[in-house]
Amino acid sequence: MEEESDTREILSADALEQDEEEEEEEEGSRSGYSQSPPFACPFSVTVEPVLFLSMFSLSLQMPLYTQYLWDRISEDVGYNGTGGRGGCGNSTAEHDPLQKEVEALTAHWNLYINLGGFLVSLFVVILIGSWSDRAGRRLVLILPSLGLAVQATVYLMVMYLKLPVVWFLLGRICSGLSGDFNAILAGCFAYVADISDKRSRTFRVAILEACLGVAGMFASIIGGKWRHAQGYINPFWLVLATNLATALYAFLFVPESVTPDPGARLFSSSHLRAVYKLYASGGQGGHRTRLWLYTLCFFLVITVHFGTRELYVLYELSTPLCWGSELIGYGSAIYHMAYLTSLLGLRVLQLCLDDSCVAILGLVSSISSLVVFSVANTTGLMFTGYGLCFFFVAVTPVLRSKLSKLVDASEQGALFASVACVEGLCSLVGSGVFNSLYPATLHIMKGFPFLFGAILLLFPAGIIGALWCREKTTNNGETSVN
């Protein structure tokens, strides 16, 4: 009997070792660069510059675009109190009906333009994200970059020719037809999932998140000073050039991470079925409940981040802060610096804490900053809120990593396509809710949308904490049985 027991243990160990070897071979076959670009990068850098450049152009454009809307609408309604000039600093400006009209119209146009772009991109991202599992990742990085370049071209035409602001909607739709920035996010995160193992995936995803922040920080500083010195048009030429450079880099320097299938079709219902199957079957090991709950947490977190981020510039331009373009640039730079501080904090805390605990601490940082923003009526208090959000980005790489570990290696493109679709939906919902809530609550509490966002973030904190406790209980039970 002892010999039979020993034999079974040996066979079980051999089978386990064989499974691990097969898993490593599978990961190696997917992470092996099956198609080299014209010029291979000599360093261990792949899609990080793609995400950096794309985020740089987006962060450079967003505050300038909102300020341009503010100035154009102010000109149309006859309001001359923008950016600390004219009536913004006066004690009666807070009750100026023209200023409130400008704020409301700017928020509403932000909503309309974003709605048009996101409604188009939601469907496209699912198609090209799932398609990339067979056709390769590089095309998913190149096509959206070219679409963003077309958007920047349309925006430049609006500024040069003084076209009505409704033409901004055309630029957003052109970008949405190519997948928009969310398609680049899906491609980059799926690419990292291809080339990393499960142990290092959270930190690799966090590096991509840090690229987002560092790019946004530089773009915010440059954009604020540049707009103050030369206006809007010259910075938007840099936006156009950066998007073209992103597409060129992806073509020349990014090796393919999956073996392309020449027969893969873009317009196929199989891509939609792949995403449906992912959430219907629950992925690897049947973790459907956790897949849905982590996706819900991701939805709430990103909705609050996107929704409140669009209001920062509008909140700072108006009374009582009356910030100019330079202060707006500094505030945005500190906000984006949190991506870098979150990466450093994540790396340190992973040595002693579980990923779920790190995500909860990130939510605490975000909630505290939003509460301060909701009552900020001075420049010092506003910067205090920016300082408190130093760790708020830590939650998103943890959630992306947890989702990635719940599905098979051949489903990473479909997963991150659905995650990018969720991000597009977050932008849609966040833009709609917060841009509608802001003008509706101006007479009650100007910072109420920030307080509302802080309350919403309590739900993902509770869900992540409950799942963490359940995982610990399950692991302890398995350990006691063994």
DSSP secondary structure, 367-421, as one string: HHHHHHHHT--SHHHHHHHHHHTTTGGGHHHHHHHHHHHTS-GGGHHHHHHHHHH
312-325 pLDDT tens trace: 988 898 888 888 87
Which pLDDT score, from 0 to 100, does residue 4 have? 45
Q: Which two tokens stand for residue 391?
A: 């760790």
Q: How many CA atoms lie within 13 A of 329 on its CB side?
A: 18
The whole-number average pLDDT for the span 289-314 is: 91
Q: Please, which residues have CB within 8 angstroms of residue 300's CB and are 6 or more apart in sequence?
A: 456, 457, 459, 460
Amino acid at 458: L
The span from the CA of 47 to the CA of 188, in Å, is 6
User: Rounded CA gap, 240 and 65, in Å?
Assistant: 14
**Position 122 in a domain:** yes
Please give the DSSP secondary-structure letter assigned to residue 41. Answer: -
Tens of pLDDT along 253-291? 988 877 777 776 766 666 667 777 778 765 454 478 889
Q: CB within 8 A of 155, min separation 6: which ones?
A: 61, 65, 168, 171, 236, 239
Q: Is residue 35 helix, strand or coil?
A: strand
Cα of first residue to Cα of last residue in the chain, in angstroms, is 20
Q: 299, 319, 287, 252: which is closest to 87 by C-alpha?
A: 319
Q: What is the pLDDT of residues 13-50, one digit of tens each?
A: 444 444 444 444 444 444 445 455 555 444 467 899 99
Domain extent at residue 204: 44-79+100-255+280-475
Predicted confidence band at 480 (pLDDT cuts at 50, 70, 90)? Answer: low
Domain CATH for 378: 1.20.1250.20
Domain assignment of residue 3, yes or no: no
Q: Hunting for tokens 């109190």 — which residue is that? A: 81
- Rounded to the nearest 10°, the torsion over CA 371, 377, 378, 383 is 30
Q: Name the band, by pLDDT with cuts 50, 70 and 90, for residue 454.
A: very high
The answer to whether residue 26 is domain-embedded is: no
Residue 12 lies in a domain: no
| Domain-located, residue 27 | no
- Of the listed ranges 147-161, 254-268, 456-470, the least confidently predicted one is 254-268
Q: pLDDT band for position 406 (50/70/90)?
A: confident
SS3 call for 339: helix
pLDDT score, position 9: 46
| Number of domains comprising the chain | 1
Q: State yes or no: pLDDT of 62 exceeds 50.
A: yes
Instruction: Identify whether 35 is part of a domain.
Output: no
Structure confidence by residue, pLDDT tens digits, 119-146: 888 788 888 887 788 778 888 899 999 9
Environment class of residue 437 by beta-carbon count within 10 Å: exposed (0-12), middle (13-18) or buried (19+)? middle
Q: What does the pLDDT look like over 76-109, one tens digit per residue?
A: 888 776 444 444 655 445 557 888 788 788 878 8
Tell me the β-bridge partners of 347: none
Confidence of residue 478 (pLDDT cuts 50, 70, 90): low
Nearest to 98 by CA among 460, 304, 418, 106: 106
pLDDT tens across 195-215, in order? Answer: 888 778 888 888 988 888 788
Average pLDDT over every residue of 155-183: 89
Q: Nearest Cα to 371, choosing from 287, 308, 463, 302?
A: 308
In-domain check, residue 196: yes
Q: Examine residue 155 and state whether it is found in any structural domain, yes or no.
A: yes
pLDDT at residue 297 in the model: 96
Q: What is the pLDDT, as a whole number, of residue 153?
A: 94
